[in-house]
Amino acid sequence: MKSDLTRPSRGPRSQLLLALVFALFAAFVYRSDVRVPVLQWLFPDQSELVYGRVSLPLLVLQHIHLVAISSFAAAVVGLSLGIFVTRGVGRDFLPLARDLSSLAQTFPPAAVLALAFPVLGFGFQPTLAALFIFGLLPIVNNTISGIEAVDPALVEASVGQGMRPRQVLLRTELPLAARVIVAGIRTSVIINIGTATIGSTIGAGGLGTIIIAGLVRNNTAFVLTGAVTAAGLALIADWSFARIESLFYDPRERTAR
């Protein structure tokens, strides 16, 4: 069951709760006069509460940058691959596409970083490669599942109306599969928000920087700051994609929600 925070049409109370969560997140990230008292209350014995080398808003922007680029690339490739293997010319590759995308998910992100590091170097690029590979599975699988779930009678009706294969795909199959596809992209993005924290181990920046610093210095305030901020980003992304998903519900179903 989805939580109320991810249901976009649950009435004014839910909307108010979401607005409150977003306001608290923004205050925690951008207002040190809000963040520091909270950390002081939680960790009264901690001498250093604010990570001073890089500001938290900059770390958030770096994190979003990593996730946005890798997720966009994964969406383009995953959607294209899913469409290709559901067409007549590519259907023979359908089992292979499923197996490869599943195999990509089994690789630990740290292992992908270790393999990409000698080729792509230090910093941003190997982290993008790891996030891209790790984010492919839900997009490929949901694209295939969404297209294959379209009622064959509707496809036949579209062909009967004189549509070409490309028109059937664009006007019938993809619109009907859109909700499932968006759900796959949603899952991929949320996974990558958490996984992107490993990028700091090779200098890619992001919220992992403050988490790793906290682990090295045995500073729980740093670790909590990074973890809470990453969780807030994941919540915002989850709710945003839930709103997009809701656009593809039948109007009667959307009202019921």
> Residue 131's closest CA among 62, 205, 212, 66?
66
The single residue listed with the structure tokens 């500073």 is: 219
Size of the chain in residues? 257
Domain boundaries, the chain: 10-44, 55-256
Quick one: pLDDT band at residue 127, thresholds 50, 70, 90? confident
Given a cut of 60, whether residue 44 has pLDDT beyond it is: yes
Residue 81 is predicted with a pLDDT of 92
What are 210-234's pLDDT values in tens digits? 999 999 999 999 999 999 999 999 9
CATH T-level assignment (fold) for domain 55-256: MetI-like fold (1.10.3720)
How far apart CA 196 and CA 229 sit, in angstroms, is 13
> Are 202 and 212 spatial neighbours (Cβ–Cβ below 8 Å)?
no
Torsion of the alpha carbons at 192, 197, 201 and 203, rounded to the nearest 10: 80
- Is residue 1 over pLDDT 50? no
What token pair was written down for 227? 């973890």
pTM of the model: 0.84
Name the strand (E) or helix (H) holding 60.
helix 56-85
What are the C-alpha distances in Å from 169 to residues 155, 194, 248?
A: 9, 34, 16
- Residue 145, Cβ neighbours under 10 Å: how many? 16
Question: What's the rounded Cα separation, in Å, for the pair 5 and 245?
Answer: 14
